[in-house]
Structure 1
Amino acid sequence: MYDVKLLIVDDEISLLTMLQTILTKEGFHAIDLATTGEEALEKCQVNQYDLILLDVSMPGLSGFEISPQIRQLTEAPIFFVTARSSDLDTLTGFALGADDYITKPFNPLEVVARIKARLRRVQQPATKLIQFHELLIDPISGEVRLHGEVIHLSAQLYQLLLFFAQHPNQLFTKAQIYEKVWGESYLGEDNTVMVHIRKLRQKLEQDASHPEMIVTVRGLGYKFVPEGVK
């Protein structure tokens, strides 16, 4: 049994019922359901969730429209679940703070596996304080400070930074980063890692277009360089 609280948002009642049934069988018993964006926002205002499955296309406010408002209320991982599978839609989802992007139709057991993998990473943080010059990461509280100022990161950006900080000066390919941080097999043509690294640079680098902390090794991958922390 998982001691977590989930929110599933979708205007398809049959899909909500199916996911709730499967998740309950897998040990998730605290599950809230919402059929509109407005209802999801109301629930997020009065409840603390550990993970949110959010449909994109709904009557009224769409998932893309409400995700920034949800992100202001919680740092819980947000998984978009949608039939919109174009590269633009995927990039839009991640740009809006999504931690995963699942396209319909999907295998419900794969969704459960992704939820379990994400919750394992969130619930089993490292415990040792990590510091490189003016960058401070507290794995217990999940707080990140740069020059003494708190840096607000989504759950996925935090996990990416924590992975880099735990492996300084080590080169990783996109596939290695995806499999370590996202906990899934890398399937090739996927911009997930690139998008998240760009967003992380925008949060941390003095000049994101000329990064010194999270650097690109052309043709090979990325690495975290502590000397680049100013």
Structure 2
Amino acid sequence: MQHILFIGADFEQYLRLKTLLSDFNCVYSVNLPDGIRQFNQQRFSLIVLDLSLVLSDADQEEVLRSFRRAHPVPIIALYDNVEDSNVIRLLGAGADQVLAIQTTDTVLTAYMQTLVNRYINLDRMDREQNCRTELCVGDFKIDLMRRQVFLKGEKIELSGKEFDLLLFFAQNPEQVLTEAQIYDRVWHTDKDFHSSIAKPINRLRQKIEPDQRNPVYIRSIRGVGYQFVPNYVISCDI
């Protein structure tokens, strides 16, 4: 459920809007300090801020900038003077929409739903973009754009083919992969693989395994191939 924070808005109007926005969790703060406290404790998808709480133009702008610096959450600023100069000033300070305090419930609700939906879509797109450029699995983080690998936060220097090999393993964690599958996906050729695949895997093990003689990340499965286990646990017999 998405959360909407109302700061200083008319309480009776808040109750009406809360009824109209039954699919959202609406939170009310009577003043700016309480609103800032609520904002710092919970992630919101929209802020509705009554700027009549803040007297000077400079303070209004600083309040908006403070919210904007903290998080890119959309902000609707309610103001009693929506002349062009004020609207331009408040938009420049960080408001996404400036509306008159007298705006009707139905119009305000429409603006709120539009901004929340836009925020949700942008957030989803950002997360999808991160998924496309970075792969995190177990102890490994793989930066696909820079072709870099980090093991428990430490950068591991790999050759191009070693990177491709580890990436294929990381995309198929815990699966038992045959030598033919690995060779086909990493080398993209039907060349005979049996004599050559062990060497690059051993070179990769040298760089990522705590003890190459007892590999814990890339495990050999006798008669089949290999299995990538991105996390390992050291057990102690007591």
Q: Given the two structures, how large is their TM-score scaled by the length of structure 1?
A: 0.49
Q: Given the two structures, how large is their TM-score scaled by the length of structure 2?
A: 0.47
Bigger Cα Rg: 2
Higher relative CO (Cα under 8 Å, sequence separation at least 6) belongs to: 1
